[in-house]
Structures are given as structure tokens and as C-alpha cells.
């Protein structure tokens, strides 16, 4: 008899017993998923026998994705018709954390009003799972128990084959008239037509011609959605997603929060990450299927051909006309911006939900934040501020994939615009090439909505003074100063386009801060997929290879650590099947070799495949970012005291003062790009230092060392209330007892000497090694590069140098074009490089300060102190 583990009240048991061929075996809540059918092809190699994983058929999320994350290590053997499973303790025995709560500092009212603890237990649903029950009308006994209320409107074998079509017919599509006449009669457009605004008809243009221009611009922006096309699109998307993906998961509790926000009467504005071009058609399908109507998507005109733009506009797409980016004194630009603003105002007044992508499209090099997304968000902010709509509810959204289906193979050049026929061929190629055995899972995350009006009122009080990176770091890098200024870093890499330039400077700052705040919420609510965990283990922990039996334990350990940090994971199921499924998705980048006793050796393939693993591992970095920053800061402190190749016992002897730790953490925070850190603008750097230190203590890497005469570290009582504590905002108080920084000088810590700590410390340091090593190599390249040169030319020079260094040293994860761009832009902000305009584009040259080889070496040493070899 296999023992059962008692489930929490209101939850299904974690385990249950069933009879299989007369023997008692253990069955999990994911027992109905397909058996793992691992087909292998063996071929001889020099070091052993390589096994190519072809088709492990399994749903990592299972048909019951709303259940807890349960891993079972199983030992299978068969004898005739009998099968035995050796059960071990379920993974954690805990349930998924509910993620996506809004910021309590900036939006405390939204944090309370749009959430209830009961929604945490609603679990997940698969949006693409449509059966007979989904053809029922909601008026059929809605309040009765499920056994009586779920009455299908249609039944039978024919309905089971046509349920997708019947489901698409029953989707409620409200009328979405764009009211061109109302746009024409809006105040902003009428001011331009009458000449009361700069660039209007009163300055030499005929009003009738201006009206034709308005209609032409409006045709470029949008078109009335067609219900027939929307239903056909829904049916086609349902069929396509079922063929290509195992499931598309959505938390029903998150969806309930969005429904509750929509019922408040304010328009919904969804602000999303952008991992795939598929996001723009997947999210409208999801929201339409959940009864939120037609989602209007703000597309990037550069990513679509004219024919595809015409089709997307009929499906609810919005496009910013090119004239809107003209200069502020251009008559065409003034008219285009007035029409765009009027069209957006009418859309918000009609109550239609709007989707804006905050990230640049996949394959785009440079800034992570989208200039186009900030433009649309600025128009929404302006509409709320002038009172067109009293408020708007902002919903952070994220879509995560096991493997991005349209990930570009060549990430070093911009993708051409996607055409209609090109997209159709890509779909057919995906359906043919992927097949059932290579399907992946998708998670759609809808974080807690919050009020834009409330954020605007509260957020401004959290912004402090700011200085450039050159003012903050350059004196410290050159050894001219040791004190880190008590101010925030000013770093903005996203260009400001025409519609955003028309706003006041204070409103532009509001839009930038809001974009970062929402993107931080999107990343925090994103689930960590199995491929991210596997790529992290292979790249940063087992680069030389690992046995499959050991990899199973490592996968379970890292999943547990991720959940303990409040991040969700996008999978569940049997541990061995999950690992097999993940390795099959990474089959192009890993090699499996059979060793003694039937075990497998998993080795990452050397070469450019490591860059792919590095991009996948970026999905796990936010969960461990605080500890990784702290570990690299500790490494910087120990760099000048203990040799890197010295034993770990020597590192544990060194005392680390809290003041020194704060300083090192601040230096690293200033060095790393904001696009990587994505810190909340309402959180000060010193507050983040306290959080990092708390995390290091909680995970056991640092232990407090009490010095004679100092107050015990466990004494959290206040000896006195200093003047600093009287004005500190509530957000600056954490679990750490270091609120008074003057008392921090007497606090000391040591590195823990527990057996697991050295390996965990190295693992955390290596998480930030790709950007830090790329920055260090960029500093080395300063005396080899050909300067002056255009920015694009110098980026190409540095990228070729990173590739050559990767071939020599084997660190291919650093040979990334985006890392090269980040290094050059960081050096520009630091004052290492100077930029001057020219007809061919910005020209870079070395500054006079860093023209000397000594200062270049100081810069390289400053960066390398944080790198753990």
C-alpha cells in the first residue's frame, strides 16, 4: 500500500491509488497525460554512443494544469501486463505561488480593490481546449452545480468534430464602429482644420484638402473590424494553436481580476512583453474567447507588409502613420498627431480594450523598451490627464513559451517586414516541421490591473534626484573618489519619437517611468519555463556535461529554488518525463551519450548553440537577480583580498562590512544596464541594496559576525530615532536591520562555510557573467578598435572581436550582438566614448580621459572584479 499525502482543504489530493493489472500503483493528478515514448537513434562516436531524442510525447502541463507542481521520480519495470512505480516524496508538496500583484507603494487602492484571496484557488485552464461543453449558452442554468449547469447546446459525434467551428460562431463580438465622423469632429482635429493650431488650414491650406488628409491618415491608422473575419480568424487560430502547441494556459484567477476591472467602467489598456510576433494574434484570440470583446492591437508598421497591414486593420489592428514622427513644426506632423490622438480618444471612450507592446519586436537590436510602445502609452496618459476619460485600467501582460516558434535564426540583422504569403508559408512550414512530437506549451499571464490615475498621483513623489553614469562612476573607476553619490542613475536608451516629444517634459518622464514599472511587473509575473531551467543548468553549472540521473535532481532543486523566490513555473508532471521533453526541445544544442549502467551523459554542444542557451537562461535570471548581484558584489570585495584560485576556506575567513557591501552593490547596479535590471522606479537604490543583503542572508550565503562591543545583529530594537528615520518613506523599510546607514559600519558578515554554499555562490556569480564578460572584453578592445567610426561600424568591430575571443576561450554566450551594443552604449554614458553627429550617423571616438592605456586598464580591472572565473 502506497501512502497518501493529505491535501490542503479545498484541494485535490496530491496522490491517489488505482488498480493497474491487479497491482496497486501511484497515480498523480496528471495521470491521463500521454506516456513518455522516447524513441532513440544510436550512432557511434569517439567518446561513446550518442543518443538523439526524437519524440518524447508528453504534456508538461498536463490536462490538469491547475493542480500543484508535483514531481515524481519513478522506477519503471514491466513483467507481462504488470507495471510497478516506485514512488518518492512529491516535489515540495506545495502549490504554485500566485504572482502578478500590483505595486502596493504606487497603487495601494488598486492593490486592495481588485484582488480577493479566493481567486488564488481557481487554477488554470487551457484556452485552446474546446469540447462539446463549450458550445453551451451561458443562460442555461448558470448558477446550478456543474453537473446540472454544464448543458451543451449541441451533442453528438458531428458536434465533437465541429465544436471548434460552433464555438467560433458563438463568440460575442460587440459592434466596434470607429466613428470616423466623431474623429473628424474632435477638438484637436477641428483646431487643425480651422487653423487655430500650428500647421492648420489657416496657414495656407484649404479646409477641404485638410479633411481629405484626415481621412487618408485615418485609413492608415485603422479600419472598422469585420465580424465575419474575426470569427473566421478565431476558428483558424483555434485549429492552428491545437496543431502547433500542447496547450495555452491561462490562470482563471488572473482572468477574473481583469473581468472585475472591466466591469468598473474604465477602458482596459494591456501592456505586454513581446517575445514573438505570434503574441499580437494570440492575445486577441485569448481575450475574445474569455468574453472581453475585440482587442485592438497597436502593431509596429515596420514588421508588416502593406497587404498584411490591411488585413490586420480589419481584425482590429492599429498602426501609427509615418507622418506622426515628423518634427513638431511640420504641418503634416501636427495633423497626423491630432488624428492619432482623436482616434485613440474615441477608442477609449467606446470601451474597447487596447494592447500595447512595451518591448521591441523579436530580432530588434538595441534598447529593450519600445519607442512605439511608449508613444501609444503617452497618448493614453494624455487622454486621461486632459479628462477625455476619467481613468484607464492598466494590465501588465506576458506570454512565455517553452520555445519561441518564430525565433530568428540570424539574430544579428533586422528581420524584413512580414508579408501575408510569407506568414502563410511560415505557418505551413511550422505545421509540417514541428508535428505532434515537438509541440510546446504557452503561458499567458495577466497581472493585477491598476488605475493609471492613481499611479500618476502617487508615483511622482517616489522619484528622486538623478545623475548621469559619467558623474556617478567615472571618478570611482579612475580612483579619484571612493564615495558613491546618494542619487539614482539617469540612463535612457529608448529614442523619443514625435508624439511623445509633443508632451511636456514631466509627462515624458512619467511615461518612461511607467513603462519600466509595468515591464518589471510583466517580468515578475512571467512563469519560468522548463527550457530556461535546463539551459541555466547546462550553461552555468554543468558546462562540461552531467549524467542524466544527476540532472534530474538538479532540475528539481532549481525548480524548488525558483518557487521559493515567489516565481511561478510553467510546467508540472513526472520529473523524468519533463526532463526528457525539455531535452527534446533543446536537441539541436545538446548531445546525449550513453555511458555505463545505462545512464546518459548530457553535454551542451560547443559553439553558437551556447548563445541560444544563454538567451533561454535569461528567463530565469529575474528570479535570482538580487542574489546574483549580491554574489558578484561579494566577489568584488574579495577580489583584492583572496586570489581567485585560492581555497574557499580563505574566503570564509574574510570579514565583510555592511558598508562595503552596500558600496559594491551600488557600483554594480550603476554599471549594469537598466534594461537588464528593470528595477522599479519607485524603489531607491539603497532600498534595493537592503533587499539584496537580505536575500543573501536568507539563502544562507552570508552569516552575521558579531564584533566585540557592537550591538547584536539579532537586536532589531531602535536605540534612538534619528532625524533620518523621521522622513524616510515607508518603502525604505525592509526586514534588514540596516535602515540607519551610520550603524551599518559596525555590522560584519562572513561567507558561509556550509558544503553547498561555494557551489551556489559560483552559480549565482555565473548568472551575470555574459554581460560582465562582454563589458570587460569591450574594455580590452578599446586600444585595438579603429576609432573614430560610426556607431554601427564600431558595433560590428566589437562583435567580430567578441566572436574571435569566444572561439579562443569557449565563452560563446558573450558573443552576442545585443551585448556588444549594450557595452558601447554603457561606455558612452560612462564617458569612455564620445559621440558626435554626422551625415552618415553618429560617430564615436575615444574621450581624452580614456585615451591613455592606464585609464583603459583601470576600467577593465573595475569590471573584472565582479567576474568569477
| pLDDT computed for residue 648 by the predictor | 56
| pLDDT computed for residue 176 by the predictor | 59
pLDDT tops 50 at residue 737:
no
Maximal C-alpha separation, the chain: 92
Contact 627, 768 (CB under 8 A): no
| pLDDT computed for residue 25 by the predictor | 28
CATH of segment(s) 770-865: 1.10.10
Helix (H) / strand (E) element for 610: namely: helix 609-617
Per-residue pLDDT band at 462 (split at 50, 70, 90): confident
Nearest to 606 by CA among 672, 544, 524: 544
User: What's the pTM?
Assistant: 0.84
3-state secondary structure string across 533-582? HHHHHHHHCCCCCEEHHHHHHHHHHHHHHHHHCCCCECCCCCHHHHHHHH
Q: How crowded is the C-beta side of 13, counted as CA atoms within 13 Å? A: 11
Cell numbers placing 654? 574574510
Helix (H) / strand (E) element for 854: namely: helix 853-864
Measured CA to CA, the distance from residue 690 to residue 700 in angstroms comes to 16
In the block, cell 563589458 appears at: 775
515-564 tens-digit pLDDT: 999 999 999 999 999 999 999 999 999 999 999 999 999 999 999 999 99
Helix (H, G, I), strand (E, B) or coil at 461: helix
| b/e code 72-98 from CB counts within 10 Å (16+ = b) | bbbeeeeeeeeeebebeebbbeebbeb
| pLDDT computed for residue 498 by the predictor | 79
Average pLDDT rounded to a whole number, residues 843-855: 94
Nearest to 57 by CA among 437, 624, 598, 553: 437
Distance of CA 557 to the CA centre of its chain: 22
- Which of the four CATH numbers 2.40.30.10, 3.30.420.610, 2.160.10.10, 3.50.50.60 does domain 527-605 have? 3.30.420.610
How many residues appear in the chain? 869
| pLDDT computed for residue 586 by the predictor | 92
Per-residue pLDDT band at 144 (split at 50, 70, 90): very low
Average pLDDT rounded to a whole number, residues 832-849: 91
∠ Cα 606 607 613 (to 5°): 80
328-369 tens-digit pLDDT: 888 888 899 999 999 999 999 999 999 999 999 887 888 889
Instruction: Kindly indicate whether the domain formed by 110-134+159-189+211-406+436-464 is annotated with CATH number 1.10.3470.
Output: no
Per-range mean pLDDT, top range of 69-73, 150-154, 456-460, 596-600: 456-460
Q: Which of 132-141, 300-309, 568-577, 839-848 is the least confident region?
A: 132-141
Distance of CA 86 to the CA centre of its chain: 38
Nearest to 663 by CA among 701, 692, 642: 692
pLDDT tops 50 at residue 45:
no
Q: What is the DSSP letter of 2?
A: -
| pLDDT computed for residue 58 by the predictor | 33
Domain coordinates in residue numbering, the chain: 110-134+159-189+211-406+436-464, 527-605, 770-865
Cell numbers placing 518? 509595468
| pLDDT computed for residue 689 by the predictor | 93
Contact 724, 744 (CB under 8 A): no
Cell numbers placing 612? 541560444
Measured CA to CA, the distance from residue 452 to residue 103 in angstroms comes to 12
pLDDT tops 70 at residue 154:
no
Measured CA to CA, the distance from residue 143 to residue 146 in angstroms comes to 9
As a whole number, the mean pLDDT across the chain is: 79
Helix (H, G, I), strand (E, B) or coil at 142: coil
Average pLDDT rounded to a whole number, residues 760-767: 94
Measured CA to CA, the distance from residue 440 to residue 59 in angstroms comes to 8
pLDDT tops 50 at residue 178:
yes
Amino acid at each position: 500500500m502506497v501512502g497518501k499525502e493529505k491535501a490542503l482543504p479545498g484541494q485535490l489530493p496530491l496522490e491517489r491509488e488505482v488498480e493497474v493489472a491487479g497491482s496497486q500503483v501511484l497515480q498523480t493528478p496528471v495521470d491521463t497525460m500521454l506516456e513518455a515514448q522516447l524513441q532513440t537513434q544510436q550512432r557511434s562516436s569517439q567518446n561513446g554512443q550518442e543518443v538523439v531524442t526524437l519524440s518524447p510525447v508528453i504534456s508538461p502541463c498536463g490536462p490538469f494544469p491547475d493542480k500543484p507542481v508535483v514531481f515524481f521520480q519513478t522506477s519503471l519495470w514491466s513483467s507481462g501486463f504488470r507495471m510497478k512505480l516506485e514512488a518518492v516524496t512529491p516535489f515540495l508538496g506545495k502549490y504554485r505561488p500566485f504572482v502578478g500583484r500590483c505595486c502596493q507603494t504606487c497603487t495601494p487602492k488598486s492593490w486592495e480593490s481588485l484582488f480577493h484571496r479566493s481567486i488564488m484557488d481557481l487554477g488554470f485552464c487551457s484556452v485552446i481546449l474546446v469540447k462539446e461543453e463549450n458550445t453551451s449558452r451561458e443562460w442555461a442554468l448558470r448558477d446550478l452545480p456543474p453537473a446540472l449547469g454544464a448543458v451543451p447546446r449541441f451533442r453528438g459525434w458531428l458536434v465533437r468534430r465541429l465544436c471548434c467551428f460552433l464555438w467560433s460562431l458563438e463568440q460575442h463580438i460587440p459592434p466596434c464602429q470607429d466613428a470616423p465622423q466623431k474623429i473628424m469632429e474632435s477638438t484637436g482635429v477641428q483646431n487643425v482644420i480651422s487653423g487655430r493650431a500650428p500647421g492648420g488650414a489657416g496657414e495656407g491650406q484649404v479646409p477641404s484638402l485638410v479633411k481629405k488628409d484626415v481621412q487618408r491618415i485615418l485609413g492608415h491608422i485603422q479600419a472598422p473590424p469585420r465580424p465575419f473575419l474575426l470569427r473566421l480568424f478565431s476558428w483558424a487560430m483555434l485549429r492552428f494553436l491545437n496543431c502547433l502547441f500542447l496547450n495555452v494556459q491561462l490562470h482563471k484567477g488572473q482572468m477574473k481580476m481583469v473581468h472585475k476591472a472591466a466591469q468598473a467602467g474604465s477602458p482596459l489598456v494591456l501592456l505586454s512583453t513581446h517575445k514573438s510576433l505570434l503574441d499580437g494574434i494570440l492575445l486577441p484570440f485569448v481575450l475574445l474567447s474569455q468574453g472581453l470583446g475585440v482587442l485592438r492591437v497597436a502593431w509596429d508598421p515596420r514588421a508588416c507588409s502593406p497587404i498584411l497591414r490591411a488585413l490586420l486593420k480589419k481584425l482590429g489592428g492599429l498602426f501609427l502613420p509615418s507622418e506622426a514622427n515628423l518634427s513638431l513644426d511640420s504641418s503634416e506632423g501636427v495633423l497626423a498627431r491630432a488624428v492619432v490622438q482623436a482616434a485613440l480618444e474615441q477608442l477609449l471612450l467606446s470601451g474597447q480594450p487596447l494592447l500595447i507592446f512595451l518591448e521591441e519586436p523579436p530580432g530588434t537590436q538595441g534598447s529593450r523598451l519600445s519607442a512605439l510602445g511608449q508613444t501609444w502609452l503617452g497618448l493614453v496618459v494624455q487622454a486621461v490627464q486632459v479628462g477625455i476619460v476619467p481613468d484607464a485600467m492598466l494590465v501588465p501582460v506576458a506570454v512565455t513559451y517553452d520555445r519561441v516558434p518564430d525565433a530568428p535564426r540570424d539574430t544579428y540583422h533586422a528581420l524584413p517586414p512580414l508579408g501575408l504569403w510569407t506568414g502563410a508559408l511560415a505557418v505551413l512550414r511550422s505545421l509540417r516541421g514541428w508535428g505532434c512530437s515537438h509541440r510546446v506549451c504557452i503561458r499567458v499571464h495577466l497581472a493585477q490591473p491598476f488605475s493609471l490615475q492613481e499611479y500618476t498621483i502617487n508615483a511622482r513623489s517616489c522619484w528622486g534626484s538623478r545623475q548621469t553614469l559619467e558623474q556617478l562612476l567615472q571618478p570611482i573607476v579612475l580612483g579619484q573618489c571612493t564615495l558613491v553619490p546618494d542619487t539614482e542613475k539617469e540612463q535612457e536608451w529608448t529614442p523619443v519619437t514625435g508624439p511623445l516629444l509633443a508632451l511636456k517634459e514631466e509627462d515624458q518622464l512619467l511615461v518612461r517611468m511607467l513603462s519600466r514599472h509595468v515591464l518589471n511587473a510583466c517580468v515578475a509575473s512571467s512563469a519560468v519555463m522548463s527550457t530556461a531551467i535546463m539551459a541555466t543548468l547546462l550553461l552555468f553549472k554543468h558546462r562540461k556535461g552531467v549524467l542524466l540521473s544527476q540532472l534530474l535532481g538538479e532540475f528539481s532543486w532549481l525548480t524548488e529554488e525558483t518557487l521559493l523566490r515567489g516565481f511561478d513555473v510553467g510546467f508540472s508532471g513526472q520529473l523524468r518525463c519533463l526532463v526528457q521533453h525539455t531535452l527534446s526541445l533543446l536537441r539541436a544544442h545538446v548531445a546525449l551519450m550513453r555511458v555505463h549502467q545505462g545512464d546518459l551523459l548530457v553535454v551542451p554542444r560547443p559553439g553558437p548553440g551556447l548563445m541560444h542557451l544563454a538567451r533561454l537562461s535569461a528567463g530565469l535570471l529575474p528570479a535570482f537577480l538580487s542574489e546574483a548581484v549580491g554574489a558578484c558584489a561579494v566577489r568584488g570585495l574579495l577580489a583584492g583580498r583572496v586570489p581567485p584560485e585560492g581555497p574557499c576556506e580563505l574566503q570564509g575567513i574574510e570579514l565583510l562590512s555592511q558598508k562595503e557591501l552596500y558600496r559594491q552593490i551600488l557600483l554594480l547596479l550603476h554599471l549594469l544596464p537598466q534594461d537588464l535590471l528593470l528595477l522599479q522606479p519607485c524603489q531607491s537604490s539603497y532600498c534595493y541594496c537592503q533587499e539584496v543583503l537580505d536575500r543573501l542572508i536568507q539563502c544562507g550565503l552570508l552569516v552575521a559576525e558579531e564584533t566585540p562591543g557592537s550591538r547584536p545583529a539579532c537586536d532589531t530594537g531602535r536605540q534612538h530615532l534619528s532625524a533620518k528615520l523621521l522622513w524616510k518613506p515607508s518603502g525604505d523599510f525592509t526586514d534588514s536591520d540596516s535602515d540607519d546607514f551610520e550603524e551599518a559600519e559596525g555590522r560584519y558578515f562572513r561567507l558561509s562555510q556550509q558544503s553547498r554554499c561555494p557551489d551556489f555562490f559560483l552559480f549565482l556569480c555565473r548568472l551575470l557573467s555574459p554581460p560582465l564578460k562582454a563589458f570587460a572584453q569591450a574594455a580590452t578592445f578599446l586600444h585595438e578598435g579603429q576609432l573614430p567610426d560610426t556607431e554601427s561600424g564600431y558595433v560590428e568591430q566589437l562583435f567580430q572581436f567578441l566572436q574571435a575571443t569566444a572561439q579562443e576561450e569557449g565563452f560563446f554566450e558573450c558573443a552576442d550582438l545585443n551585448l556588444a551594443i549594450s557595452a558601447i552604449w554603457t561606455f558612452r554614458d560612462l564617458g569612455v566614448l564620445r559621440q558626435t553627429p554626422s551625415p552618415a550617423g553618429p560617430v564615436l571616438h575615444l574621450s581624452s580621459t580614456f585615451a591613455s592605456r592606464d585609464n583603459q586598464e583601470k576600467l577593465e580591472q573595475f569590471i573584472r572584479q565582479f567576474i568569477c572565473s
